[in-house]
Structures are given as structure tokens and as C-alpha cells.
Amino acid sequence: MSGAFFRVDKFIVPAAAREEFLVKVMMTHKLLEAQDGFIDHRVLEQVAGPGEFNFVTIAEWENTEVVERARAAVAAAHKAANFDPQEMFSRLGIRADIASYKPVAA
């Protein structure tokens, strides 16, 4: 798929897990920033409203092809650091909703 592409990850993070979660998210986003095709990213924390997800991360990419290369680079970096995101989610009680999005044509 050509054109702008977004990865939007939503998380339910228990208060006791906030610090460790954010350290790992920021580490991962530093890796993303170094990848070809990366445009921008945001890490958002809910401050009001009834929504169940208290953290949202959004990464913007040039297209889907660069996302696949970035995904492989991040997986390799996590493995080298002996970091398993799924283990951390399970251990800390974090629930995630991970999805990819494209802009809607007006």
C-alpha cells in the first residue's frame, strides 16, 4: 500500500506498570525514529474521559513497505536486549489493541 500509513497501538496499563511500560515504549520509539521511512510519532496518556485505553501510541510511516523493515529491526533490537514485549504485558497485566491505519480520502 502506498501513501501515508499509521500504526496505532492502544493500551490498558495498570498504574503500578506505568513506569516500566513508558521506559520500554520510549526505548522502542527511539528505535523507530532511526528507521528509513519514519515520519513522526506520539505517545499519548489519557487525562479525561470514559475510554478504557489509558495510553495510545501513533507512528506515521511513508508506506507499508518501510513498516515491515522497521518491524524486523525493532524485533532484532528487542531480541538483542533480551526484551519480550508479550512477557512484559503478561507480567504487568497490560492489555493491548494493535492495528494499522491509512488516511481516509476526503
Question: Given this model, what pLDDT does residue 2 score?
Answer: 63
Verdict on whether the full-model pTM lies above 0.85: yes
Q: What is the pLDDT of residues 11-48, one digit of tens each?
A: 999 999 999 999 999 999 999 999 999 999 999 999 99
Mean pLDDT value across the chain: 93
Question: Given this model, what pLDDT does residue 4 score?
Answer: 84
Confidence check: pLDDT of 1 > 70: no
Three-class HEC string of the chain: CCCCEEEEEEEECCHHHHHHHHHHHHHHHHHHHCCCCEEEEEEEECCCCCCCCCEEEEEEECCHHHHHHHHHHHHHHHHHCCCCHHHHHHHHCCEEEEEEECCCCC
C-alpha cell at 61: 510511516
C-alpha cell at 103: 488516511
